[in-house]
Amino acid sequence: MLKRWQSWIPTGGGLRDEDWARRHRLLTMLLAACVVGLTVYGTFQDALTTIWVTVLLVLPCVVLAARLRSRRPASIAVALGFVIACAGFVTMSNGLTEAHFSFFVVVAALALYRDWAPFGVFLIATTLHHAVFGTLWHNHTYDHTGDPLLWAALHGVAVLLAAGFQAVAWALTEDEERRAQENLDDREAQLSVAFDQTPVPMAMLSPDGLVLRTNTAYRTWLCLPDELPPGFSVEDLPVTPVGNTMTGLFDNLSNRTAYNATRQYRRKDTGEIIWAEAHSTSLFDKEGKLKLIFLHCLDVTESRRQQEELNHRVRHDALTGLLSRSAFEVDLESVLAAQADGATVLYLDVDRFKSINDGSGHSAGDSVLKAIAGRLSALVPAGSLIARFGGDEFVVAVPGGPEIGAHTGEAILAAFAEPLPVEDNLLNVSLSIGLALAADADQGEDAVLAADTAMYAAKRSGGNRMRIFNEQMRVSVHERIAAEKLLREALAGDREQTLPVWFQPIVRAESGEIVGAEALVRMRAADGSIIGPGHFVPAAEETGMIVQLGEHVLIMALRHLMEWRHDLGYISVNVSPRQLAEPDFVPLLADLLAANPELDPKRLVLEITETALLGSSVDVRERLETIKRLGVRIALDDFGTGYSSLTWLQNVPADVVKLDRSFVAGLSSDARKSSIIQAVLWLAKSLGMSAVAEGVEEEADRQALHSAGCELIQGYLFGKPMPPAEFSERIQRSRMATTP
């Protein structure tokens, strides 16, 4: 019960110093104003004596209230001053009842102190005034008759009741404030826990740069002690922005409500560079003055390093460290914009890299590419760009005119004439180089394409050389692109119609009897005209469409072998290097033969050029042995055109040797050719091979071949390639002509 009643009694105090000072200043000023007001009022009431007595008693209270530094004595001085002022006002009013209302007003005013000392002094002094002055000067205290003590008691009780209700209001206010403070304390505690325990580094800064508060994550991040020394500022932090000061950064933070920035910092002790993303919120008072800066930081050093590494990967080739294609194109545009003389673009491709890569393994191929990149980087002039465009293709941009670029290209060719050290070995590597000039910033892409075109021209010329781009090369490229488009359309259509397979007869040299044929593909254009293989087979080789094209020719050859199985001995089909390297080629061949069980596989001859043998990345002998186990015969086409023909004749399991037309043309009038032909025929016969001479166009050459012992010949003398229907008629005429 006691506690319950105590809860209704205000405890007093509790005001902040600034709040108490503001209320005290107000009450002191009101007391001083009362002095002025009473003086004026007393003058009109002709109560000069009371005025002087009241003023002389109140003024010391005003002075004490203004001069005393202690809260309680100063507030008691105000309370006494108001008692005297109210008593003087009652006396001047000759005890008028309404004049006593001033005591009730003062009760409410003194409640502003929320302190029992001035409140109690005023209540006691008021009661004494009513009792003493009511007894001694009844007519100046009350304007009615009766027992003065009774009226003093009545007035005292009324003042006490007024004071009681003020005390109740005071207590209720304190209770509400207490609950508000408890809620505030709870929230502050929650915020404090959130601030201190959050893993994000946080700090509070004052407007003058002092570090007011930090959380554990912030101190751990910057290796700060748990207790910062007094006056610790941002300049004392163990990091400083690179190229700036902490004060400069603080100015940026304080100039706006919110500020985000990612900056580079250096640790003062170790010199380590870190990246931090700073987010700040500035708090201002109602006058717009900065009060506090709340700052939280994110250490983004690792993410920046990862981003820089990613940017490096985007801009650089992972294997060689050279520029990537996209970075080269961007940098080339910048070089051309800054270079008045333009730049020369060199497009480089490694000759026969596929055989190096596949023959020795991809790791060896990667080592070769890295060694090439290192040698190129040492050769190109300063300020040049060098990039790897993928595979075995490199591009160099040399600032300056074509003379500088040509000199650089020649220097590269000369340098690669020396063996390249690769993994403790020396490897002979040659390059094909295309050169093109870019004059303006918008010509970079065209220059790269032009250099690429010139590089292909150098490669088609045998490689290990440089070609300078000219417009005729562009025409060739356009023709190749057009041929590629036509070939794609033909392969997508009815191949038997769009890609007809024609046949050229192979005859006996003695009688002219047709014993075999070579299958040769043609293309039928939209207007019905026939396009020769020279217009589209190179494009097929470069694009890989030769695989589909070769499959089509093989299928058509087997179909006609079945059709002419009683009239024709065999059909030979050319196999490209790309086809031979395909892992699915042999299974495809086996499936096609299995689909024609009545066909003797020996009637199919696959012609393999020496180029195919040189450029293939597979084990040629093993693959050809597999083909021979299917019963299919192998022919070495264009024999004699390569530098190692006799080696292939010895090592490759071939059944037929096809003598190149370069040995046949003019044979009848060239004794040296005749000797070579006789030697090859003898060697082939001794190895159990048959021979076919290609390109026979003169009767004299036919007779010379027959005399040399060549049994089978092929050429325009006996017929050009012709459609299947025409060739079928030709077979029938040949049989009639040679049948006794």
Domains of the chain: which residue ranges? 2-176, 202-305, 316-469, 483-738
Distance CA 363, CA 353 (A): 13
Q: Give percent above pLDDT 90 in the chain.
A: 23
What per-residue confidence (pLDDT) applies to 644? 43
Report whether pLDDT(4) > 80. no
Return the residue matching tokens 């959130």: 194
Instruction: Label residue 332 exposed, middle or buried (CB < 10 Å: 0-12, 13-18, 19+).
Output: buried
Distance CA 272, CA 234 (A): 19
Average pLDDT over residues 130-158: 70
What per-residue confidence (pLDDT) applies to 396? 95
What per-residue confidence (pLDDT) applies to 2? 43
Three-class SS of 358-427: HHHCHHHHHHHHHHHHHHHHHHCCCCCEEEEEECCEEEEEEECCHHHHHHHHHHHHHHCCCCEEECCEEE
Average pLDDT over residues 382-386: 91
Least confident of 97-111, 152-166, 520-534, 685-699: 152-166
pLDDT grade, residue 146 (50/70/90)? Answer: low
Q: What is the mean pLDDT of the chain?
A: 82
What per-residue confidence (pLDDT) applies to 255? 54
Record the tokens describing residue 568, joined without a space.
Answer: 């024709």
pLDDT grade, residue 245 (50/70/90)? Answer: low
Q: Among 702, 705, 703, 738, which Cα is nearest to 718's?
A: 702
The runs of H, that is alpha helices, within 416-523 are 444-460, 471-492, 495-498
Residue-wise pLDDT for 474-510, tens only, equals 777 777 778 888 889 999 989 999 999 999 999 998 8
Query: Looking at domain 483-738, does it have CATH number 3.20.20.450?
Result: yes
AA identity, residue 362: H
Average pLDDT over residues 79-91: 84
CATH topology (fold) of 202-305: Beta-Lactamase (3.30.450)
Report whether pLDDT(6) > 90. no
Record the tokens describing residue 284, joined without a space.
Answer: 């201002």
Average pLDDT over residues 611-618: 54
**Most confidently modeled of 39-48, 153-162, 324-333?**
324-333
Cα atoms found within 13 Å of the Cα of residue 361, Cβ hemisphere only = 3
Report whether pLDDT(1) > 70. no
Per the CB < 8 A criterion, the answer to whether 123 and 79 are in contact is no
Q: Give percent above pLDDT 70 in the chain.
A: 88
AA identity, residue 643: Y
Cβ neighbours for 532, distance < 8 A, ≥ 6 positions apart: 522
Residue-wise pLDDT for 188-214, tens only, equals 777 777 778 788 888 888 888 888 888
Q: Could you give the C-alpha distances from 28 to 74, 77, 109, in angstroms and in order?
A: 9, 9, 11
Q: Could you give the C-alpha distances from 83 to 12, 110, 128, 161, in angstroms and in order?
A: 21, 11, 10, 17
pLDDT grade, residue 35 (50/70/90)? Answer: confident
Average pLDDT over residues 360-387: 86
What per-residue confidence (pLDDT) applies to 270? 83
| DSSP 8-state assignment for residue 210 | B
Report whether pLDDT(654) > 50. yes
**Most confidently modeled of 42-56, 86-100, 315-329?**
315-329
Report whether pLDDT(347) > 90. yes
CATH topology (fold) of 316-469: Alpha-Beta Plaits (3.30.70)
Cβ neighbours for 658, distance < 8 A, ≥ 6 positions apart: 607, 635, 636, 637, 638, 639, 691, 692, 693, 694, 714
What per-residue confidence (pLDDT) applies to 520? 95
Record the tokens describing residue 286, joined without a space.
Answer: 């109602």
What per-residue confidence (pLDDT) applies to 3? 47
Instruction: Label residue 499 exposed, middle or buried (CB < 10 Å: 0-12, 13-18, 19+).
Output: buried
| DSSP 8-state assignment for residue 324 | P
Residue-wise pLDDT for 682-735, tens only, equals 888 888 889 999 989 999 988 988 888 899 999 999 999 999 999 999 998 877
What per-residue confidence (pLDDT) applies to 665? 83
Distance CA 252, CA 720 (A): 87
